[in-house]
Amino acid sequence: MSRPRLTLATAIVLALAFDAAHAFYLPGVAPVDYERDDLVYIKVNKLTSTITQLPYDYYSLPYCRPSKVKHAAENLGEVLRGDRIENSLYSLEMRYDDQCKVQCRKTLSDAEAKTLQEKIKDEYRVQMYV
């Protein structure tokens, strides 16, 4: 009983197919090492929904915002995907146990509350990056 032999071409095709199926690359994303007490800033991106498919800018809703909102696109891929990465009020210190902190308090107008309620009903989600 003889076993079928793999040709070199078949082996290469199989190797490439397996490699492509289990690998990915995110341009501009590299691991970052943090030390104890290093400050890590939380960035925000657009609001997305699987119901409406229409994205909104994070600060289009009445969230607390920093005194100056800065766009922070880090690579070309983010721009091509339509991401609008911006700074936020949120940060954390590495390896530091801390309780929740209030960043700001805001009283919503009737129009702001209605807008927020509509986005919740349409199942919008916030994208944040550490």
By residue count, the chain amounts to: 130
Per-residue confidence (pLDDT) for residue 80, from 0 to 100: 79
Helix, strand, coil % in the chain, rounded to nearest 5:
25, 20, 55
Give the pLDDT confidence of 12-35 residue by residue, as tens digits: 666 665 554 445 555 556 777 888
Indicate the pTM of the whole model.
0.68
Do 49 and 122 contact (CB within 8 A), yes or no?
Answer: yes
CA–CA gap between residue 97 and residue 93 (Å, rounded): 8
In percent, the amount of the chain with pLDDT more than 70 equals 77
Report the C-alpha gap between 15 and 35 in whole angstroms: 39
Condensed to tens digits (0 to 9), the pLDDT of residues 76-109 reads: 777 777 788 899 999 889 888 888 888 889 999 9
CA distances from 27 to 78, 89, 109 (A): 9, 27, 41
Alpha carbon 59 to its chain centroid, in Å, reads: 15
